[in-house]
Structure 1
Amino acid sequence: MTAKHRLALALMTLTASIACTASAADEPVVGLISKTETNPFFVKMKEGALHAAKLQGARLLTGAGKSDGDNAGQITAIENMISAGARAILITPSDSKAIVPAVRKARAQGVMVIALDSPTEPANATDALYATDNFKAGLLIGQYAKAALGGKLAKIATIDLFPGHPVGIARHNGFLAGFGAAGIGAKTVELAKTADLVCMADSFGDQGKGQTAMENCLQKNPDINLVYAINEPAAAGAYKALKAAGKEKGVLIVSVDGGCAGVRDVKSGVIAATAQQYPLKMAELAVGAGVAYAKTGKKVSGYVDTGVTLITDRKMAGVESRDTAFGLSACWGK
């Protein structure tokens, strides 16, 4: 190879290197931090985010806590993503209060932060929130349960999330308001109690813990005939406890999420009705906002309601719902 050829090759290599570097520099970087990597809800959210990032020519960084409530893991993910050049971070807060200092630090460095599914406390710690109206989700299943019981005296167990979480509070209180309890609204900040609520227990949204919670509630009151569950894994756990006690046929279970497995539980009669939410839509919209910010510097703000639909095969007069055929066609992806 002549000196002239070697020089030409070197110039071609340098030009290609510069082009690749420029391309990488122009590629918007967006981060997604979920509560866990294993919960099907967050798996679907990640799927939606990856799809949206690919369509928009962005690079998606992902991270999660080791388990629900792992605030330290989420803080580490935020710090790593900032170091990797993320211009926007989407996060489902495990601890709505403890995550706030890390979120504010990120925003101070010019990173736009969007909460998904769950707000921070205070909500304005993030630039925006893309989420289900969780109070409405609870309200729908509460209205349904009231109609389904048909005037029968209710003895209610609530299989909740864990103390203080805003999503758990909103769904619980929405359910009681929908069931007819007075004086409970979307801004009620504590878990409400009513005379017909005979047991409250935490499940952390986990099936095994949901089963244990239901077993404990049955020990307190074996005549429970209505169960509200924070999500469908907790509802499935509650059903297992009821079945083991020979009580599954006399108890109505309602829940929130609308995942494919949960809708199949509605179809089979394990759950009477569920309020379906759409994490894929949350992720796609938020990634779009993140990419736009990376390219233009324009931030989004406020709350974006990503929708909720009551799913049941046993319709109740006066309560709007869709059947499980629709629920399975739209499970988490509408």
Structure 2
Amino acid sequence: MFKRGLTIAAALLALTAAGCSAEREWGGGSASPAGTAKIGLITKTDTNPYFVQLRESAKAAAQARGAEFIALAGQFDGDNDGQVRAIENFVQQGVNTILITPNSSTGVLDAIARARQAGILVIALDTATEPADAVDATFATDNFEAGRQQGAYAKAALGATPPKLLMIDGTAGSSVNTLRHDGFLAGIGLAEGAPEIRGTQNANGDQNLAQQGAENLLARASDINVVYTMNEPTARGAHAALQARGLAGPVVMASIDGGCEGVANVAAGQIRATVMQFPGKMAELGVDAGVEYAKTKQKPSGFHDTGSVVITDHPMPGVRSEAVAWGEQNCWGDK
């Protein structure tokens, strides 16, 4: 399990011209001893707590394994151009491994192909590419299954009561957004476009946008009993909108992420349950693969599910879950 409370040893440098931000752990372009892994990480942003934790876990794993490490990020969720420039930056700096959480499953494929042609191992973390073999391997949550667990929990919590559902989605066109959305509907037992779905709103994973979107939906359809949220910042925004209308208690709302703040939201009753992911595990597996590749040129392949589990103090029959106390000990870490 990753150790929370790691201090950030390197300063964050704004690369305005490159359209991304960086955290450096080596001198760019410097030669590395033979067999030493030189690993570059590219996240969707460097502000979302989930990607901050993934970066810190990768950084700690690299330090523990004697690998050189640098992190870059898009300036916002959906910044494909920034991620393309980050890949090009890493190729120029001579990394032997790139770990990337793609903003779009298709938006960075040409740059990834050029990196692989240059002999660089490329691993997707958190978000799969389309096609999957555009990268050497993927270490990620099965997002459809995470959404299905969320939906199954909501269905069990409603019992015999028919759902009246609002859906606060993430970024339109994102594979993570689509998989979680579709998984939730499968878990709760609804088809896309079903009349039980009273409204949907994209919020790009942003708390403020989620609150605004939920307020707009509630103004048109306040007779609801369940809310789907794509991630925990989205859930916090939706909770604020529900609370303003006196609906926070009666409405069943679950989410996905499993960050320490999200687990605290579950403990406080703001979210009934959350589906925990393990970005620390993704990061460590990615770094391990990069270190192995530097030593032996052996590459991993295929999709590796890093797991997910429902966290709640209100367990439901037929839904595997862990208590909040377990979640507090394991939030965003290794299982």
**TM-score (normalised: structure 1):** 0.89
Q: Percent identity over the alignment?
A: 50
Cα RMSD over matched residues? 1.3
Partner of 1:204: 204
**Corresponding letter in the other structure for 2:194:** T
Partner of 2:144: 135
Give, in whole Å, the separation in 1 of the partners of 2:177 and 2:224.
Answer: 21
Partner of 1:303: 303
- Structure 1 residues 4-15: aligned runs within 5 Å: none
State whether structure 2 residue 90 is matched by structure 1 residue 81: yes
In the alignment of these two chains, the number of paired residues is: 305
- Structure 1 residues 109-120: aligned runs within 5 Å: 109-120=118-129
Displacement of 1:154 in angstroms is 1.2
**TM-score (normalised: structure 2):** 0.88
* Structure 2 counterpart SS, 1:270: coil
Q: Give a deviation string over 1:133-171, Cα, whole Å, max 9, x none.
A: 111111111111111111112110111012111111111
Displacement of 1:28 in angstroms is 1.5
Q: Give a deviation string over 1:8-29, Cα, whole Å, max 9, x none.
A: xxxxxxxxxxxxx876454320
Q: Give a deviation string over 1:233-288, Cα, whole Å, max 9, x none.
A: 00000000111122212211110000000000001110001100000100000111
| Unmatched segments (≥5 aa) in structure 1 | 1-20, 183-191
Partner of 2:331: 331
| Unmatched segments (≥5 aa) in structure 2 | 1-29
Partner of 2:56: 47
**Corresponding letter in the other structure for 1:269:** G
Partner of 2:18: none
Give, in whole Å, the separation in 2 of the partners of 1:166 and 1:141.
Answer: 17
Displacement of 1:122 in angstroms is 1.7
More deviation in 132-141 or 229-238?
Answer: 132-141
2:137·2:300 contact (CA, 8 Å) conserved in 1? yes
- Structure 1 residues 38-187: aligned runs within 5 Å: 38-181=47-190
Structure 2 vs 1, CA of residues 199 and 57 (structure 1 numbering), >3 Å: closer, same or farther? same
**Corresponding letter in the other structure for 1:248:** A
More deviation in 281-290 or 292-301?
Answer: 292-301
Partner of 1:236: 236
Give, in whole Å, the separation in 2 of the partners of 1:98 and 1:215.
Answer: 32
2:181·2:230 contact (CA, 8 Å) conserved in 1? yes
**Corresponding letter in the other structure for 1:161:** G
**Higher helix proportion (structure 1 or 2):** 1
State whether structure 2 residue 263 is matched by structure 1 residue 270: no
Give, in whole Å, the separation in 2 of the partners of 1:208 and 1:318.
Answer: 34
2:32·2:38 contact (CA, 8 Å) conserved in 1? no
More deviation in 113-122 or 324-333?
Answer: 113-122
* Structure 2 counterpart SS, 1:177: helix
Give, in whole Å, the separation in 1 of the partners of 2:111 and 2:56.
Answer: 25
Q: Give a deviation string over 1:75-117, Cα, whole Å, max 9, x none.
A: 1111111111111100000122111111111111111111110
* Structure 1 counterpart SS, 2:190: coil
More deviation in 246-255 or 112-121?
Answer: 246-255
Pair member with larger Rg? 1
State whether structure 2 residue 255 is matched by structure 1 residue 255: yes
**Corresponding letter in the other structure for 1:179:** I
State whether structure 2 residue 59 is matched by structure 1 residue 34: no
After the TM superposition, which segments of 4 or more aligned residues of structure 1 sit over 2 Å from their partners? 21-27, 192-195
Give, in whole Å, the separation in 1 of the partners of 2:171 and 2:93.
Answer: 33
Displacement of 1:327 in angstroms is 0.5
Give, in whole Å, the separation in 1 of the partners of 2:265 and 2:35.
Answer: 46
Give, in whole Å, the separation in 2 of the partners of 1:228 and 1:220.
Answer: 17
Displacement of 1:180 in angstroms is 1.7
Partner of 1:13: none
